[in-house]
Chains A and B, each alone.
Chain A
Amino acid sequence: MPLANRQSPLSEILAAADQVILGKSRQTRLALCCLLAKGHLLIEDLPGVGKTTLAHTLARLLGFQFSRVQFTSDMLPADILGVSIFDRERSAFRFLPGPVFSQVLLADEINRATPKTQSALLEAMEEGQVTTEGETRPLPQPFFVIATQNPSNQIGTFPLPESQLDRFLLRIDLGYPDHNAERALLESGGRREQLPTLAARLAPAAFAALQQQVAAVHASPALLDYLQLLVEATRRDARLVHGLSPRAALSLLAAARAWAFTDGRQMVLPEDVQAVLPAVARHRLRLLSGSYADAEDIATLIHSIPVA
């Protein structure tokens, strides 16, 4: 029976992550889906709700090399990409790789940096390589950016332009923990101490294999019909500045595949699309009023398209 309770290879990872990040299993799963679909993740929320912990936990559980950059307004591109320094012993320049040369880069508070620095990082995300001083250096594989940003109404932020937001496959918010989760947090102390004790649950090459399996999850013509109806509805909606781009449609399909895969299925169902749609669409759809679409707008959109 296809819809019966299933075990997926990722259930264990998700369960372990839930032990660290309390009461946020949906967001954790979305974050994992983002990595499975080979996308970069943007987490937007207030400071102190566990954005960094989430990123760090995932990196450790998946066995990735992890580095973290705290973005500030006086940061320069070289602080991320790396610099060449003169080595007196060898009488030559030596390249000191920046934090971008790691498998998971946590870019904390990316919207505190100036646009110049932001775009240096975003270029690396897009190309999978870094070009400095005329030399192109490939980034490690896999390479993920998990960026966090503060709500842009906070002081001292440079909001990411739409074209750069589009490079993040998913954008999630964490929100406050619920009552029970917060009580558990208070009783057991902060979560950061647990991080070093987390052991990797995957062999280094296993994640790439999982990514390949995700890409092979079946999307039937009926499902593609449904997905196209959704995307086309955003383009017709008079309240939106513009609809979802074809790239966004591809992202939606990739994320829905990953979501189905984490559910242990080999086929995408409409509810997978619905589940990832807010994370895919909210940072890509802007209302005429200037704000980005909220959860209710996405719900309205979903409710307007019948599932046949």
Chain B
Amino acid sequence: MARTLKARRQAIARPAEPLEHGAVPWLLAVALVTAGPHVGHLPWWLSLVVGGALLWRAWLWQQARRLPPRWALSMLVVATLAAIGWQFRTLFGKDSGVALLVVFMALKPLEMTSRRDAMVIVMLGYFLLLTHYLYSQSIATGGWLLGAITLLSAALIRVHGGAQPIAAIARHAGLLLAQALPFMLILYLLFPRVSGPLWGLPEDAHSGLSGLSEQMAPGSISRLTQSAAIAFRSRFVGELPEKSDLYWRGPVFDDYDGLTWRASVTTSKPPPQAPTIDGIGPPYAYTNIIEAHNQRWLLALDVATTLPADASLAPSLQALAREPLRVRSRFSFASSVDYRANVSETPETLRQALALPPEINPRSRALAAGWASRPPAEIAAAALAMFRQQDFYYTLEAPLLGANAMDEFLFETRRGFCEHYASAFVFLMRAAGVPARVVAGYQGGELNPIDGYLIVRQSDAHAWAEIWLAGQGWVRFDPTAAVAPARIEQGIAASLPAGEALPIVIRLDNDWLRQLHNRWEAANNTWNQWVLGYNPQRQREVLSRFGWRDADWRRMSASLAVLCGVALLLVAVWTLPRRRAVDPIQRAWQKYCGQLQQRGIARAEWEGPGDFAQRVARERPELGELTREAAGYYAELRYGQRGGIGQNRAAALHRLQQCITRLPPRRRSST
């Protein structure tokens, strides 16, 4: 016992196995591929350090030079850690943690001499891969990481398997991953899903989400149109409404302070009455898949008549979720584009829809006062006629406005985007005594013919107006349509002058480019719905499609284990060398060898019976004679001529089996 311990200690103390020169580029590639994509989120100086360290190591490798001394490396590590601490003010948290890992990955190769170091790099690589998902979960990231994981496996094979052609290593790595594929699929389908992330995300996790905000000032919507990001996708069950009817309702603003529009805070008790809607037109049924925007509104088509259970219709007619949307979510609606809403509006709402900040914009007030005697519908028509007939321009490049913003816009600059026209229109209506409010949301959208989804982007963001007419309720007026009808009928790209800055995908003219783009977005949509959006509800849907309706997590875990076991068995049967059915001769010989193994001398798998018998005679003389006899029977039975020299095979087998019982009893091992 003491001897084995000593031997083990010696084995540990043995110098580490050196790393082959030819394996180094593989590990540098691992470092590059796993740390590289983080360059986008790292401070620029850190990217320089990482790139420099890897280049340095590559140069040392190419020149076959010695690695830098330990003290220099220690100083480099301390300096970089201090710089990271200074940059992020902490060494914990997402960004600084990733920065640390990346630095480790870049500096470790500089002290990489043994196989053990290589293993550290590979393991670090696996860990670093995971961190990429903190920043992006796109198809591109998934594809990159799949490639990276193949490279990591290949590096492992290279480190342990010696020099081989690259194609052989790649094939080997690919084969290993292919064997993992069934497990991946089983785990993906059956691993019990939880809603929301498994662990708490940092506070800043949702800060970067773009979309409509809770207030509107000049410029806020035109800024949004600079983004081609998808706001939501919508799929209609039947036909699509006319493009000019596609008004997706977001926040409703009825409180104006002279610069900014907000939603008024209602404190009245009881809360405002529920909206009353008479849908006149036929309902359109559709499902919205809304990107996370950290707000509650669900961007239903004006106006929603049927809502999903976990949504409600606000008094201002928006569909609202219970909680702000922090993840991409699906909601199904039915809407009528032809409707009467809130014909009997509460006096408080109407009062709010007439409120104006005092004193500002005197010229606009005077203009409106001139219309005040007419009926409300005519007032609205007069305002629209003004926008249409006078030289107003629809442009993203609106001049800045001062304190009397409406006066400046209506009488001097006359250049503006939808938020300018909507707020000017509402201001004029209120000044003329007609209840009015601003509605923000999206207008239009673009049908992707590949998968039939209507894609609505941030660039489709829009603002329009509503006035309340007695007997008709809230009626939509879109002053932008009066200035630039093309915006509503053809979309934003057609309505703006060609020189103005818009995301390139919105202006794609080339047919096959557009086709390619459509395919890409359809693929993204599938990815979003089936990979990223594979939540408990989706999982239940999929399982019920396989006829499994009442899947709870216990049963899923159980079937997961069973299926993985079956897959493991199949892979094992497929990969392990086929063992022929063991015949009684082999079984007897294996049993004899097993007995010897228990007595401290084991036959190597590749050792033939004659050689083994000789070795036993040499190392354990007391077992030598019997083993030689057993090996002789076995050799004759298995390798000898059938029926040769009058041998009775059954008798020989019997004698071989008897050799097992003739073995001396096992001693209690005392050594």
Q: Are B608 and A269 closer than 8 Å at their CB atoms? A: yes
The answer, among B168, B579, B580, B608, for a CB contact under 8 Å with A270, is B608
Indicate the member of A2, A218, A269 with the most B CB atoms within 10 Å: A2
**Considering residues B579, B606, B638, which has the most beta carbons from chain A within 10 angstroms of its beta carbon?**
B606
In Å, the complex CA distance between A223 and B634 comes to 13
Q: Mark B506-546, 1 if CB is under 8 A from A, else 0.
A: 00000000000000000000000000000000000000000
Tell me, yes or no, whether A62 is within 8 Å of chain B by CB: no
Q: Does A274 contact B (CB under 8 A)?
A: yes
* Interchain CB contact under 8 A, B641 and A267: yes
Q: Which residue of A lies closest to B164 (CB)?
A: A238
A contact patch SS? loop
Return A287 CB to nearest CB of chain B, in Å. Answer: 9
- CB contact between A288 and one of B163, B636, B640 (< 8 Å): that residue: B163
B608 touches A307 (CB 8 A): yes
Q: Which of B156-177 contact A (CB under 8 A)?
A: 162-165, 168
- Per the 8 Å Cβ criterion, residues 134-191 of A in contact with B are none
A1 touches B628 (CB 8 A): yes
In the complex, are the beta carbons of B168 and A2 less than 8 A apart? Answer: no
B641, A218: Cβ atoms under 8 Å?
Answer: yes
- A-facing residues in B564-580 (Cβ within 8 Å): 579-580
Q: Mark A1-40, 1 if CB is under 8 A from B, else 0.
A: 1111000000000000000000000000000000000000
Contact, CB under 8 Å: A239 / B644:
no
The answer, yes or no, to whether A305 is at the interface (CB within 8 Å) is yes
Indicate if A306 sits at the interface (CB-CB under 8 A): yes
Smallest CB–CB gap between B135 and chain A, Å? Answer: 38
Whether B608 pairs with A288 at a CB distance below 8 angstroms is no
What residues on A are CB-neighbors of B622 within 8 Å?
A: none
* B608 CB contacts on chain A under 8 angstroms: 269-271, 274, 307
Contacts of A269 in B (CB 8 A): 608-610, 635, 639
Are B639's CB and A303's CB within 8 A? no
Our pick among A1, A266, A270, A306 for the contact of B632 (Cβ within 8 Å) is A1
Contact of B163 among A222, A239, A267, A268 (CB under 8 A): A239
Residues in B neighbouring A308, C-beta threshold 8 A: 579-580, 586
Q: Are B632 and A307 in contact (CB under 8 A)?
A: no
What mask results when residues 288 to 308 of chain A are scored 1 for a CB within 8 Å of chain B, else 0? 110000000000001111111
Q: Given contacts A1-B632, A288-B163, A289-B163, is CB(A271)–CB(B611) below 8 Å? A: yes
Q: Are A268 and B644 in contact (CB under 8 A)?
A: no
Q: Does B605 contact A (CB under 8 A)?
A: yes
Are B613 and A3 in touch, CB under 8 angstroms? yes
Report the bound CA distance from A83 to B164 in whole Å. 51
Chain A nearest CB, measured from B582 CB (Å) = 8
Is B412 on the interface with A (CB-CB < 8 A)?
A: no
Q: Is B607 an interface residue (CB 8 A)?
A: yes
Determine how close the nearest CB of chain A comes to the CB of B616; give it in whole angstroms: 12
Complex Cα–Cα for A307 and B608 (A): 6
| Interface: B378 (CB within 8 A) | no
B338 contacts the other chain (CB 8 A): no
Interface residues on B, range: 20 to 34
**How many residues on A have C-beta within 8 angstroms of the other chain's C-beta atoms?**
26
A307 B607 Cβ-Cβ under 8 A: yes
Whether A222 contacts B607 by the Cβ 8 Å rule is: no
- For residue A3, which residues in chain B have a CB less than 8 angstroms away from its CB? 609-610, 613, 628, 631-632, 635
Inter-chain contacts of A289 with B (CB < 8 A): 163
Q: Does B451 contact A (CB under 8 A)?
A: no
Is the CB of A220 closer than 8 A to any CB of chain B? Answer: yes
Could you give, for residues 147-162 of chain B, a 1 whenever the CB lies within 8 Å of some chain A CB and a 0 otherwise?
0000000000000001
Is B639 in contact with A220, judged by CB distance below 8 angstroms? yes
User: Do A1 and B629 touch (CB < 8 A)?
Assistant: yes
Q: Does B604 sit at the interface, judged by CB under 8 A? A: yes
Contacts of A222 in B (CB 8 A): 638-639
Across the interface, do A4 and B606 meet the contact criterion of CB distance under 8 Å? no
Residues of A within 8 A of B636 (CB): 2, 267
Return the contact of A267 from the options B162, B607, B629, B640 (Cβ within 8 A): B640
Report how far A274 CA is from B605 CA in the complex, Å. 13
Closest Cβ of chain B to A25, distance in Å, is 15
A204-234 contacts to B, CB under 8 A, are: 218, 220, 222-223
Closest-by-CB residue of A relative to B605 is A306
B601-634 at interface with A (beta carbon < 8 Å): 604-611, 613, 628-629, 631-632
Taking a contact as CB atoms under 8 Å apart, the answer to whether B635 and A2 are in contact is yes
Bound state CA distance, A169 and B186, in angstroms? 54
Residues of A near B607 (CB, < 8 A) are 271, 307
Chain B nearest CB, measured from A232 CB (Å): 11
Q: Given A2-B636, A266-B644, A288-B163, decide whether A303 and B168 contact each other with a Cβ distance below 8 A.
A: no
Q: With A2-B635, A3-B635, A239-B164 in contact, do A220 and B606 touch (Cβ < 8 Å)?
A: no
Nearest residue (CB) in B for A218 is B641
The residue among B165, B613, B629, B641 with the most chain A CB atoms within 10 A of its own CB is B641
CB distance from B43 to the nearest CB of A (A): 44
In angstroms, Cα B639 to Cα A39, docked, is 24
Residues of A within 8 A of B641 (CB): 218, 220, 266-267
In the bound assembly, the distance between CA atoms of A305 and B608 in angstroms comes to 11
Within 8 Å CB of A270, what residues of B? 608, 639
Residues of A within 8 A of B165 (CB): 238, 288
Q: Is the CB of B606 within 8 A of A305?
A: yes
Bound Cα distance from A269 to B610, whole angstroms: 8
Closest residue to A226 on the B side, CB-wise?
B608
- State A271–B610 Cα separation when bound (angstroms): 7
Known contacts: A218-B644, A220-B639, A307-B608. The answer to whether A2 contacts B163 by CB under 8 A is: no
- Within the complex, the shortest CB–CB distance from B571 to chain A, in Å, comes to 19
Which residues 264-284 of A sit at the B interface, judged by CB distance below 8 A? 266-271, 274
Task: Tell me which residues from 263 to 278 in chain B have a Cβ below 8 Å from any Cβ of chain A.
Answer: none
Measured CA separation A288–B169 after assembly (Å): 14
Interchain CA distance A222-B638 in the complex, whole Å: 7
Complex CA gap A302/B611 in Å reads 13
- Complex-state Cα separation, A302 to B638, whole angstroms: 20
- Complex formed: what's the CA distance from A3 to B638 in Å? 13
**Closest beta carbon of chain A to B269's beta carbon, Å:** 80
Q: Give Cα A267 to B645, complex, Å.
A: 12
Measured CB to CB, the nearest residue on chain A to B590 is: A308
B604 in contact with A267 (CB, 8 Å): no
A2 and B640: CB pair below 8 A? yes
Complex-state Cα separation, A2 to B606, whole angstroms: 21
Report A-chain residues with C-beta under 8 Å of the C-beta of B631: 3
Residues of chain A contacted by B628 (CB below 8 angstroms): 1, 3-4
For the complex formed, measure the closest distance between the CB of B355 and the CB atoms of chain A, giving whole angstroms. 81
A218-B644, A267-B640 are known contacts. Are A238 and B610 too (CB-CB below 8 A)? Answer: no
Residues in chain A near residue B640, CB distance under 8 A: 2, 218, 220, 266-267
Contacts of A1 in B (CB 8 A): 628-629, 632
A223 to B164, CA, bound (A): 31
- Which residues of the partner chain A approach B579 to less than 8 Å between Cβ atoms? 308
Q: Nearest chain-B residue to A230 (Cβ)?
A: B606
A230 to chain B minimum Cβ distance, whole angstroms, is 10
CB<8 Å pairs between A and B, sample of 19: A1-B629, A2-B635, A2-B636, A3-B609, A3-B613, A3-B628, A3-B631, A4-B632, A218-B639, A218-B640, A220-B641, A223-B639, A238-B164, A266-B644, A268-B639, A269-B635, A271-B611, A302-B606, A307-B605
What is B's interface to A at a CB cutoff of 8 Å? 162-165, 168, 579-580, 586, 604-611, 613, 628-629, 631-632, 635-636, 638-641, 644
Instruction: Other than A222-B639, A238-B165, give 14 A-B pairs with Cβ distance below 8 A.
Output: A2-B636, A3-B635, A220-B641, A239-B162, A239-B164, A266-B644, A267-B635, A267-B639, A268-B639, A271-B607, A271-B611, A274-B611, A288-B164, A308-B579
For the complex of A and B, list the 7 residue pairs with the smallest distance between their C-beta atoms, beginning with the closest.
A271-B608, A270-B608, A306-B605, A238-B168, A3-B632, A218-B641, A271-B611
